[in-house]
Amino acid sequence: MALISARNLHVGQRLAQVSLDLAPGELLGVIGPNGSGKSTLLNCLAGLVEVNEAMGGEIDFDGRSLRAIPPRQRARQIGLLPQAGDSAWSLTVGDVVALGRLPWGDEDAAAIRQAMDLAGVAALAGRRVDALSGGERARVWLARVLAGQPRLLLADEPIASLDLHYQCSVMAVLRQYAQAGNGVIVALHDLGLAARYCDSLCLLRQGRVASQGPARSVLTAPMLSEAFGVPIHVDLDATPPIVTPK
Amino acid sequence: MKRWVVLLLLVCLLAVALLSLHVGSAPVPALGGLLDWLSGREGAAALIVGEIRLPRTLLALAVGAALGLSGAALQGLLRNPLADPGLTGASQGAALGAAGVFYFGLFPAAGDAAPALAGLLGAGLALLLMLALAGSSRPAMVIMAGLAISTLTGAALATVLNFAPNPYAMQELVFWLLGSVSERGLDHLWLLLPALVVGGALVLHQRPLLAALSLGDQVAESLGLPVGRGSRWVVLGVALLVGASVAVAGSIGFVGLVVPHLLRSLVGHRPDRLLLPSALAGAILVCLADICVRLLPPQHELKLGVLTALIGAPLFIWLVWKERRRWL
């Protein structure tokens, strides 16, 4: 059974007729140009943006309508890692990660430690987040979401502005989290990494699904060239896969 | 860490409270007088400590706690270390309410407590107007709407002063506005305490929200917290705390702004853990300031609000200087 399944989502002018399914253990990449509706889609799936019901839009999580799940229960099941996180205060890494336990109302030390280990930030636990580098901070935000042990993790451009090492390490963590039986949906701009790490892809263009399915069927030169408006070279047989503007 | 901070502050609070019972123009034994008063024995010491110094001490502590707590809550909510409780417009609303009593003789049945009662109503009205104007609990909108309502009530207050029926009424109001906890009885405390309890409970109940808001609205919402509703409860709690304290003791500035700053690094910068220590430290600070006021020569009475402003303004300048260095 699908962990989350969205049908016919419409949100203002930003999303139209978007449908998708995600099974447990699957890593789905959402790709598309800026303003194509990736963040809106993730916020919708997180239950933060109202879906236009008049247009027949609905989201089911684990067989239940997402709307019928109380916010706190929803937050235990679905974790959202927003784009460009920041902390207003000079909190320690340990305190930021512990915030991920808020939906559970506990400070489960084992879950927090596990999340920090998985994201590779255990050694930073006592440091202040504002004193960390961008790459370290991105992994701290990720650890915060992992600490809530959500069954569905939604990550909005988690590797934007990271160097190559951190890009791969964050994608590997997401891959590992999906393999443990959870669902992961990640919005991405790096199509090469999307081809390498995701089980399936969803290409959005102007708020609509332009293509959906395994990397091979979505990442075709004509499809991408049309979506992004530049000629694109695709070689999925290379190791690692290459998707780059010509 | 947090526990010893709270414990240490509690010990300081008790010490300052005892000192406050001890300090005054007449040398009387503080503890002996208090025990005499509590057991109903008559005497000069019981009268001075029980009827004059005790209400004054308790009032200073309660006003300080309300201001410290509201400052910490508002800074956490708005994610701005320079947010001041006066920002909600509640202080100015309370001042306007009290001015109504001095000039138009509102609530004659309430006697001496009339300015406080009217102040509370004024704070409540200003707050409702601010919330209606802001439309949402977005920090920027709350600040703008708070500023707009403060300006409006400030203008109304200036108009009232302009058309003062006689110089004495104007003098009475200006002195009251300068802020003081002297010449007030336990009946003022009974007005302030419910507001302190209800406002404090409203704010403290939203601790998880304040913690989550450190990472922004979107994260807080994704953690299942009701950001809009919770923020409104915090604003309401802050208005009750500020409105009631201004209504009872006039305007005592800078406590809500400075106290959270002094404590922030002791609680690991966590906005949720800052609330209780800020209440305790606010109480200590206002009570200490009141003790200083009493130690000054009686012919040159310095108002409590003037003293806190004199101490608070340089501290504020230092904060701005420190903040500025971060950006240069």
DSSP character string of B179-210: ---TT--HHHHHHHHHHHHHHHHHHHHTHHHH
Shortest Cα distance, chain B CAs vs residue A25, angstroms: 22
pTM of the model: 0.89
Shortest Cα distance, chain B CAs vs residue A114, angstroms: 19
pLDDT, averaged across chain A: 92
Exposure on the CB side of residue B111, measured as CA atoms within 13 A: 6
Q: Which of A93, A99, A149, A156 best tests the B interface by mutation, with the highest count of B CBs <10 A?
A: A99
Shortest Cα distance, chain A CAs vs residue B263, angstroms: 13
Q: Indicate the residue of A74, A90, A102 with minimum beta-carbon distance to B211.
A: A102
Distance CA B187, CA A34 (A): 63
Query: What is the radius of gyration, based on Cα positions, of chain B?
Result: 20
Q: Which two tokens stand for residue B67?
A: 């201001």
Highest mean pLDDT among A124-128, B148-152, B201-205: B201-205
Distance CA B205, CA B226 (A): 12
Nearest residue of B to residue A99, measured between CA atoms: B212
Q: Which of B2, B78, B219, B272 best tests the A interface by mutation, with the highest count of A CBs <10 A?
A: B219
Distance CA A53, CA B234 (A): 32
Determine the number of helices (DSSP H) and then strands (DSSP E) in chain B. Answer: 15, 0
Q: Does A126 touch chain B (CB under 8 A)?
A: no
C-alpha separations of A3 from A6, A182, A186, B125 in Å: 10, 9, 15, 49
Cβ–Cβ gap B268/A91 under 8 Å: yes
Q: Which two tokens stand for residue A240?
A: 């690692």
Chain B residues closer than 8 Å to A86 by CB: 215-216
Q: Does A150 touch chain B (CB under 8 A)?
A: no
Per-residue pLDDT, A28: 97
CB pairs under 8 A between A and B: 78
Cβ–Cβ gap B269/A91 under 8 Å: yes
Chain B residues closer than 8 Å to A69 by CB: none
Per-residue pLDDT, B181: 80
Highest mean pLDDT among B55-64, B231-240, B245-254, B319-328: B55-64
Task: Please give the average per-residue pLDDT across A161-184, as a whole number.
Answer: 92
Nearest residue of A to residue B215, measured between CA atoms: A87
Cβ–Cβ gap A71/B225 under 8 Å: yes
Nearest residue of B to residue A88, measured between CA atoms: B214
pLDDT, averaged across chain B: 86
Query: For strand A78-81 and strand A152-156, is the pairing parallel, antiparallel, or unpaired?
Result: parallel
Distance CA A117, CA B220 (A): 24
Per-residue pLDDT, B137: 63
Confirm whether the ipTM is greater than 0.85. Answer: yes
Per-residue pLDDT, A114: 94
Task: Please give the average per-residue pLDDT across B121-145, as a whole number.
Answer: 80
Distance CA B244, CA B197 (A): 11
pLDDT over 90 (residue B118):
no
Cβ–Cβ gap A102/B218 under 8 Å: no
Q: Indicate the residue of A79, A91, A102 with minimum beta-carbon distance to B208.
A: A102
Closest C-alpha to A197, from A241, A141, A162, A152: A241
Q: Considering only A72-76, B66-70, B229-233, which range has the smallest mean pLDDT? A: B229-233
Cβ–Cβ gap A91/B212 under 8 Å: no
CB A55, CB A8: distance < 8 Å: yes
Query: How confident is the model over B266-301, as pLDDT tens digits?
Result: 999 999 999 999 999 999 999 999 999 988 887 777
Q: Considering only A75-89, A116-130, A178-192, B99-113, which range has the smallest mean pLDDT? A: B99-113
Pick A121 or B316 by higher pLDDT. Answer: A121
- Distance of alpha carbon A12 from the chain centroid: 22
Q: Considering only A80-89, B242-251, B318-327, which range has the smallest mean pLDDT? A: B318-327
Report residue A133: phi and psi, to 5°. Answer: -80, 165
Q: Considering only A165-174, B141-150, B182-191, which range has the smallest mean pLDDT? A: B182-191
Nearest residue of A to residue B79, measured between CA atoms: A88
Chain A residues closer than 8 Å to B79 by CB: 88-89
The DSSP bridge partners found for residue A232 are A245
Highest mean pLDDT among A185-194, A230-239, B121-130: A185-194
Chain A residues closer than 8 Å to B80 by CB: 88
Amino acid at B284: I
What percent of chain A has pLDDT above 70? Answer: 100
pLDDT over 70 (residue B1):
no
Can you give the three-state secondary structure of A172-212, one letter per residue?
Answer: HHHHHHHHCCCEEEEECCCHHHHHHHCCEEEEEECCEEEEE
Q: Indicate the residue of B212, B224, B264 with minimum beta-carbon distance to A99.
A: B212
Shortest Cα distance, chain B CAs vs residue A106, angstroms: 11
Which stretches does DSSP call E strand in A110-176?
152-156
Cβ–Cβ gap A99/B214 under 8 Å: yes
Q: Which two tokens stand for residue B60?
A: 């200073």
Cβ–Cβ gap B264/A89 under 8 Å: yes
Chain B residues closer than 8 Å to A128 by CB: 269
Chain B residues closer than 8 Å to A146 by CB: none
Distance CA B189, CA A20 (A): 61
Query: How confident is the model over A41-81, as pLDDT tens digits?
Result: 999 999 998 887 777 789 999 999 999 999 999 999 999 99
CB B222, CB A79: distance < 8 Å: yes
Chain A residues closer than 8 Å to B327 by CB: none
pLDDT over 90 (residue B108):
no
Which stretches does DSSP call E strand in chain A?
4-11, 15-22, 27-31, 58-61, 64-65, 78-81, 152-156, 183-187, 200-205, 208-213, 232-235, 242-245
Number of neighbours of residue A120 by Cβ within 10 angstroms: 18
The DSSP bridge partners found for residue A80 are A154
Query: How confident is the model over B19-54, as pLDDT tens digits?
Result: 999 888 777 887 888 888 888 888 888 888 888 899
pLDDT over 70 (residue B174):
yes
Q: Indicate the residue of A70, A73, A75 with minimum beta-carbon distance to B222.
A: A75
Closest C-alpha to A118, from A177, A179, A184, A178: A177
Cβ–Cβ gap A86/B224 under 8 Å: no
Q: Indicate the residue of B80, B216, B218 with minimum beta-carbon distance to A48.
A: B218
Cβ–Cβ gap B224/A48 under 8 Å: no
Can you give the three-state secondary structure of B44-111, one letter per residue?
Answer: HHHHHHHHHHHHHHHHHHHHHHHHHHHHHHHHHHHCCCCCCHHHHCHHHHHHHHHHHHHHHCCCHHHH
CB B319, CB B84: distance < 8 Å: no
